[in-house]
Amino acid sequence: MSDLVLELVGLTAGYGDNPIVHDFSARLYRGSITTLIGGNGAGKSTLLRAIYGTNRWFSGQVVFRGEALEKLEPVARLKRGIGFVPQGRCNFPTMTVAENLKMGCYTLPGQKHAAAIERVVALFPVLRSKWRIEAGNMSGGEQQVLEMAMVLMLEPSLLLLDEPSLGLSPKMQADVFATVKQIASIGVTVLVVEQNVRGALMISDQAWVMEQGRKFMEGPAKEVRTDPRIRQAYLGGNIKHHAA
Amino acid sequence: MSADPIYLLQLTLNGVTLGLLYALIAVGLALIFGVLEIINFAHGELLMVGAYAMAFALPAFGLLYWPALVVAVLASAIAGWVLYELFLSKLKLGELERSILITLALSIIILHVVQLLFTASPRIVDTQFGFEGVEIGAIRITWTRVIGAGSAAVAFALLFLVLKFTQFGRAMRAIAQNREAALMVGIRPKTVARNAVVLATALCGLAGAALAPVHLVQPGMGQFLIFKAFALVIIGGLGNIPGAIAAAILLGLVESWVGGFFQIVWQEAAVFVLMMGVLFLRPDGLFKRGAMRVG
């Protein structure tokens, strides 16, 4: 299938001598949003890092648009079209929004910077209004938008987001989810790890559930959302509501 | 001990020129600390390498100042590059103790190798300017001091422009501010670390070259400077570049005044008295800490 963007084949990865993610196989298709669900320490972030290449690969394959990437360094993967926004604040806090976006162009040739900046600012007009503000002085939601913009400048075909709504107010969480939806609508494939499982599932096409470093289940987001085991474990366990 | 205004002004000018040279060393340390998160204790010896390069290059160029200065800066920068490739690039993030031991050991080794090659006897370095100087009224400063201070000021202006307006420089600030974000946008930490070390050691070479005609050149000249520079980096707010420059100029002034009005032994202690005072009153230094602020 030509729409296949990413295929993981028996991927095992972790840190130092400790594999955390074991034998993980899954596929992502163009323009889809996939939520990665799992408890603390289930290996969600480790899996994202393994796809981007910032941790240790043990075995298996990361096939991105037909090319095996598992032995390439992160910058090489970025250049091929994988963008990764790590967990927590991931910008340059004492640089202005303009400077942060300029850093987003780091791997682009100079003559492409202006167009790339123009493109993401058109996508996220809030950035224009904060142009000369230091990133660290913006609200959490604005910073998250900036971070996604920095990665989107390179027009990735796959965007990995680790906890984009962490620490944000419910209103801002909704904004971030809307932004993710918007990103997918322009053809970017999104894989997102979210603590707000309910919110993430609402915008997702499919979900992967991880437990102890392995894939526990996968399926369309709707099915996963209504699966009693998932409701129990990750959606607040409101069994009464489910029964009613 | 009369507070003659001319004498005071002379001391002040001497203090500023000395302070600007201290600042070159301190800024280099701050740059390396910001990007690599290590303290380079071999920094003083790279300055000494620059001073020796100046001492040998000057006669080779018929005492011409500027070509010799270029040679000295290049010599230190190349030494810095070798230092990075052979040793510092092998360090992992957070290996502060290893970095201290490695750079301290290198500092002592370089010092003794230079002593072995060129003996410990101090050299007087002469330039095309000799002891000529500018005189304004009763105040007199030698050209070598004026040029040294001027070159340092120009170097800081250039450094500011590089860090603020080029991707090359911004990448250094980026790594100092957020390593994960740097990886996110595709910055290679090792490349930037190498650039930072070469840039910092070039500044160090400039300091060595400028000091050579002003002070005596000897193998141990960098050793006391490193501890001073380290103190300055802390006083200035670890990782804060303008803070380090301000602290260095302040120290130059304090040393010059103390040396002018009190017994000379107090001069060398001034920086550490200053550091202890600052750390008691403001544990994070005089200025905002970290993140490689440039303005």
pLDDT tens digits for range A71-117 = 999 999 999 999 999 998 999 999 999 999 999 999 999 999 999 99
Find chain A residues with C-beta within 8 A of B239's C-beta.
none
Interface residue B180 vs chain A (CB under 8 A)? yes
Closest by alpha carbon to A29, among A64, A62, A53, A61? A64
**Min Cα separation B46/chain A (Å):** 31
B286 lies in some domain: no
What would the pLDDT profile of B222-242 be if each residue is shown by its tens digit? 988 888 888 898 888 887 889
**Inter-chain residue contact B186 with A88, CB threshold 8 Å:** no
Count of structural domains, chain B: 1
Residue of chain A nearest B291, judged by CA positions:
A94
Structural contact between residues A205 and A31, judged by C-beta atoms closer than 8 angstroms: no
* Residue B293 near residue B240, CB atoms below 8 Å: yes
Chain A environment of B291 (Cβ under 8 Å): 93-94
Of B170, B180, B291, the CB nearest to A103: B170
- Give pLDDT, residue A138: 95
Q: How confident is the model at residue B3 (pLDDT cuts 50, 70, 90)?
A: low
Give the model's pLDDT for residue A237: 54
Q: Which residue of A has its CA nearest to B185?
A: A104
B293 touching A, CB under 8 A? yes
Q: What average pLDDT does the segment B246-273 reach? A: 88
Of the candidates A78, A94, A102, which has its C-beta nearest B186's C-beta? A78
- pLDDT higher than 90, residue A162: yes
Helices (H) and strands (E) in chain A, counts: 11, 10
Whether residue B291 lies inside any domain: the answer is: no
Strands (E), B78-178: 133-136, 139-142
CB hemisphere CA count around B236 (13 angstroms): 34
Residue with tokens 């202005």: A96
Percent over 90 (pLDDT), chain A: 79
Average pLDDT in the A53-58 region? 94
Quote the pLDDT of residue A1. 45
**Which residue reads 């993140």 in tokens?**
B291
pLDDT 10s digits, A183-220: 999 999 999 999 889 899 999 999 999 999 999 999 99
Is B156 a domain residue? Answer: yes
Do A88 and B181 make contact, defined as CB atoms within 8 angstroms?
Answer: no
Q: How many CB pairs under 8 A join A and B?
A: 67
B180/A90 CB distance under 8 A: yes
Euclidean distance between CA atoms B238 and A28, whole angstroms: 45
Considering CB atoms only, which of B184, B188, B291 is closest to A150?
B184
Instruction: Reply yes or no on whether the pLDDT at B291 is more than 70.
Output: no
pLDDT of A244: 35
Beta strands in A86-237 (DSSP E): 158-162, 189-193, 206-211, 214-220
Of A73, A85, A106, nearest to B167 by CB-CB distance is A106
Average pLDDT, chain B: 91
Instruction: Give the pLDDT mean for A19-34.
Output: 96
Q: Which residues of B touch A105 (CB under 8 A)?
A: 167
The residue type of B117 is L
pLDDT at B8 over 70: yes
pLDDT given for residue B295 in this prediction: 52
Kindly determine whether residue A90 and residue B178, on different chains, have CB atoms separated by under 8 Å: yes
Instruction: Please give the residue that has the higher pLDDT: either A158 or A238.
Output: A158
Query: In this model, does residue B147 exceed pLDDT 50?
Result: yes
Nearest CA distance, A100 vs chain B (angstrom): 9
Q: What CATH number labels A4-243? A: 3.40.50.300
Nearest CA in chain B to A85: B184
CATH code (residue B266): 1.10.3470
Average confidence (pLDDT) over B148-170 = 96
Q: Is B97 in CB contact (< 8 Å) with chain A?
A: no
Query: Region A45-63: what's the mean pLDDT?
Result: 96
- B173 to chain A, any CB pair closer than 8 A? The answer is yes
- Among B177, B186, B293, the residue with its CB nearest the CB of A106 is B186
Q: Where are the domains of chain A?
A: 4-243
Instruction: Give the minimum alpha-carbon distance from A214 to chain B in angstroms, rounded to a whole number.
Output: 25
Q: Of A55, A54, A67, A49, whose CA–CA distance to A9 is shortest?
A: A67
Q: Could you write out the DSSP letters of every residue in B230-272?
A: HHHHHHT-TT-HHHHHHHHHHHHHHHHHHHHHS-THHHHHHHH
**Closest-CA residue to A43 (of A227, A226, A198, A208):** A208
Its pTM stands at: 0.89
Per the CB < 8 Å rule, is A90 touching B167? no
C-alpha B260/C-alpha A197 separation (Å) is 70
- pLDDT above 80: residue B288: no
Instruction: Look at residue B293 in the predicted model and tell me its pLDDT.
Output: 63
Predicted pLDDT of residue A240? 45
Whether pLDDT at A241 is above 50:
no
The answer to whether B267 faces chain A, any CB pair under 8 Å, is no
In a domain, B235, yes or no: yes
A239: confidence class by pLDDT, cuts 50, 70, 90: very low
pLDDT of B215 reads: 87
**Contact assignment for B178 to A94 by CB distance below 8 Å:** no
Span B162-179, mean pLDDT? 94
The continuous run of DSSP H or E covering A21 comes out as strand A18-29
B185 touches chain A (CB under 8 A): yes
**With 80 as the cut, is the pLDDT of residue B289 above it?**
no
SS3 A198: helix
Averaged pLDDT, A28-52: 94
What domain range is B36 assigned to?
5-281
Residues in chain B with CB shorter than 8 Å from the CB of A84 are: 184
Query: One-letter amino acid identity for B13?
Result: L
In angstroms, the separation between the Cα of residue A170 and the nearest Cα of chain B is: 25
Instruction: Check residue B294 and give its pLDDT.
Output: 62
Can you tell me the distance from the alpha carbon of A99 to that of A92, in angstroms, rounded to the nearest whole number? 9
